């Protein structure tokens, strides 16, 4: 087994999985399932597809355990797999009518049934409309720009990690994010 003393906990767990300790996969799955589904949902805009893709991500991670090398952060490797699956899904779905929306947080409407006592109904409606407009603007970005924005703002990844996931340089990530944020500022300028 590779030296694990100086490795991040996730890489250490994955190296244990590689060495035959299948039980170490459980904590990895538990820790990263939610963020991966969240990222995939924002990419593909369909909760059912995001769930299926997340299952495929973790299946691929487990199948690749024999060839895993802890040369980058585990999350970089994980999100690279998730990104490729999401982009493949989007490419395959082009031409099909979009079935999901970033506006939907839950399919069954449970979130809408939970009462929020602080803001008024009008304030919530205004905020929901603003969020929906931001989500539409993000959804309209080109795939790589959208992926970079989602990883930067929602997954709180740094430029270096995003560059590794996207397979490009940090300066290319900065350029992608600059163009994406400029596009978003222009599209959302009327919101003040």
At residue 99, the pLDDT reads 45
Q: Please write down the long-range contacts of 84-87, taking CB distance under 8 Å and 24 or more positions apart.
A: 85/40, 85/53, 85/56, 85/57, 85/60, 86/39, 86/40, 86/43, 86/44, 86/53, 86/147, 87/43, 87/143, 87/147
At residue 3, the pLDDT reads 45
Q: Which residue has the tokens 């593909």?
A: 44
Nearest partner of 179 among 132, 154, 133, 143, judged by Cα: 143
* Side-chain-facing half-sphere of 146: CA atoms under 13 Å: 22
At residue 100, the pLDDT reads 46
Taken in order of first residue, the domains within the chain and their CATH numbers are 1-101 (1.10.1740.10), 120-192 (1.10.10.10)
117-130: average pLDDT: 74
At residue 183, the pLDDT reads 94
Average pLDDT, the chain: 84
What percentage of residues in the chain have a pLDDT greater than 70?
Answer: 83
**DSSP class of 114:** S
- Whether 55 has a pLDDT exceeding 90, the answer reads yes
Query: Contact at 8 Å (CB) between 153 and 176?
Result: no
- Whether 54 has a pLDDT exceeding 90, the answer reads yes
pTM given for the model: 0.69
What percentage of residues in the chain have a pLDDT greater than 90?
Answer: 63
When mean pLDDT is compared across 7-16, 29-38, 105-114, the lowest value belongs to: 105-114
For 30-69, b where at least 16 C-beta lie within 10 A, e where not — what string? Answer: eebeebbbebbbbbbbbbebbeebbebbbeebeeebeebe
For 142, the token pair is: 């080109």
Q: Cβ of 20: how many Cβ atoms within 10 Å?
A: 9
Q: Which residue has the tokens 């990104």?
A: 83
179-184: average pLDDT: 94
């Amino acid at each position: 087994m590779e030296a694990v003393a100086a490795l991040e906990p996730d890489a250490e767990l994955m190296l244990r999985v590689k060495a035959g300790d299948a039980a170490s996969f459980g904590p990895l799955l538990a820790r990263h399932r939610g963020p991966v589904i969240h990222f995939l949902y924002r990419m593909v805009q369909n909760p059912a597809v995001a769930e299926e893709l997340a299952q495929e991500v973790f299946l691929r991670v487990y199948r690749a355990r024999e060839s895993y090398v802890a040369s980058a952060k585990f999350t970089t490797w994980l999100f690279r797999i998730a990104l490729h699956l999401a982009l493949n899904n989007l490419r395959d779905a082009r031409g099909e009518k979009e079935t999901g929306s970033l506006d939907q947080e839950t399919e069954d409407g449970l979130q809408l049934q939970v009462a929020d006592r602080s803001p008024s109904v009008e304030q919530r409606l205004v905020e929901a409309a603003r969020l929906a407009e931001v989500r539409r603007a993000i959804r309209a970005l080109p795939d790589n720009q959208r992926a970079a924005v989602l990883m930067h703002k929602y997954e709180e990844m740094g430029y270096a990690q995003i560059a590794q996931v996207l397979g490009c340089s940090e300066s290319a990530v900065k350029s992608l994010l600059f163009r994406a944020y400029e596009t978003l500022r222009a599209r959302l300028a009327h919101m003040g």
